[in-house]
């Protein structure tokens, strides 16, 4: 399996004399994986996502994505790299209120200068998968929270990113909408081969992942692999590991 992302001894220090937010993290992500990142507040999981996605720069170590060393890209090259290689879903939807659903999803493809017919085809195919075909002509103000997040997910995936970074994507959703989104992301991972890294504090959301990195004090505390287990069994394992993590504090 192709190694898509490599992190080697990655460190992030915000203030001298304080504990590093990331303390020598090393791991790999293979193409087609769905990885969950878990840990208590302040454990380093969001910092990790930020440095992997070039939103922030590491203090030390090396990060390679698609054979490109992103560790020391300047602001301009980082922005170009994000636009060309990465997709993002956040807890907040960040949809443009003045654009329709179809126009929101089209933004990344329009920035790439793709032909209108190709953009239209890509959006309609993905909208069908995400269950938002009937909402393409609507505006964000006319959508439920779950629909908004599925639009945000479609916008992130439509440009076929090397990696999709999701930061607490179900945090603002009710349980039904969260399940719909997680199922859709899982299908995108399985059927489209979308590589996903998802930060979450929720064991239920994490159970949709195939592998989980659990963080504590800026380090990887444990790693869980789902393998051939069903999601319910994996969910129970995650709960057990969270309990161990709490006991170790």
SS3 content of the chain, % helix, strand, coil (to 5): 40, 25, 35
Of 132, 76, 141, which is closest to residue 105 (Cα–Cα)? 132
Q: Express each pLDDT in 61-72 by its tens digit.
A: 999 999 999 987
Q: Domain residues of the chain, as ranges? A: 3-91+164-247
Q: Express each pLDDT in 46-55 by its tens digit.
A: 999 999 999 9
Q: Express each pLDDT in 145-203 by its tens digit.
A: 999 999 999 999 999 999 999 999 999 899 999 999 999 999 999 999 999 999 999 99
Residues 58, 102 contacting (CB under 8 angstroms): no
Q: Is the pLDDT of residue 248 over 70?
A: no
Q: Is the pLDDT of residue 21 over 90?
A: yes
Q: Express each pLDDT in 67-110 by its tens digit.
A: 999 987 888 999 999 988 999 999 899 999 999 999 999 999 98
Find the angle CA(54)-CA(58)-CA(60) to the nearest 5 degrees: 145
Count CA atoms closer than 13 A to 139's CA, side-chain side: 5
DSSP assignment letter at 209? S
For the chain, what is the mean pLDDT? 93
CA distances from 54 to 44, 71, 75, 196 (A): 15, 8, 9, 16
Provide the angle, in degrees to the nearest 10, between the axes of the packed helices 145-157 and 175-187: 20
Superfamily of domain 3-91+164-247: P-loop containing nucleotide triphosphate hydrolases (3.40.50.300)
Mode of pairing for the β-strands spanning 219-225 and 211-216: antiparallel
Q: Is the pLDDT of residue 112 over 90?
A: no
Least confident of 38-42, 43-47, 243-247: 243-247
Comparing 146 with 247, the larger pLDDT belongs to 146
């Amino acid at each position: 399996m192709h190694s898509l992302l490599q992190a080697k001894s990655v460190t992030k220090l915000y203030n001298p004399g304080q504990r590093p937010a990331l303390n020598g993290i090393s791991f790999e992500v293979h193409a087609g994986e769905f990885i969950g990142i878990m840990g208590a507040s302040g454990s380093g999981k969001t910092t990790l996502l930020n440095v992997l996605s070039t939103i922030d720069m590491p203090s030390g170590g090396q990060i390679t994505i698609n054979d490109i060393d992103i560790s020391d890209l300047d602001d301009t090259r980082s922005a170009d790299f994000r636009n060309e290689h990465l997709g993002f879903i956040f807890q907040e939807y960040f949809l443009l209120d003045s654009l329709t659903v179809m126009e929101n999803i089209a933004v990344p493809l329009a920035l790439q200068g793709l032909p209108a017919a190709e953009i239209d085809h890509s959006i309609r195919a993905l909208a069908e998968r995400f269950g938002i075909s009937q909402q393409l002509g609507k505006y964000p103000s006319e959508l439920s929270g779950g629909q908004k997040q599925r639009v945000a997910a479609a916008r992130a995936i439509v440009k076929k990113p090397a990696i999709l970074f999701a930061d607490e994507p179900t945090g603002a959703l009710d349980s039904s909408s969260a399940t719909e989104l997680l199922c859709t992301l899982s299908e995108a991972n399985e059927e489209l081969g979308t590589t996903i890294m998802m930060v979450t504090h929720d064991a239920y959301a994490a159970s949709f992942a195939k592998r989980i990195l659990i963080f504590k004090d800026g380090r990887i505390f444990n790693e869980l692999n789902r393998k051939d287990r069903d999601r319910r069994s994996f969910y129970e394992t995650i709960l057990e590991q969270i309990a161990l993590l709490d006991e170790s504090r």
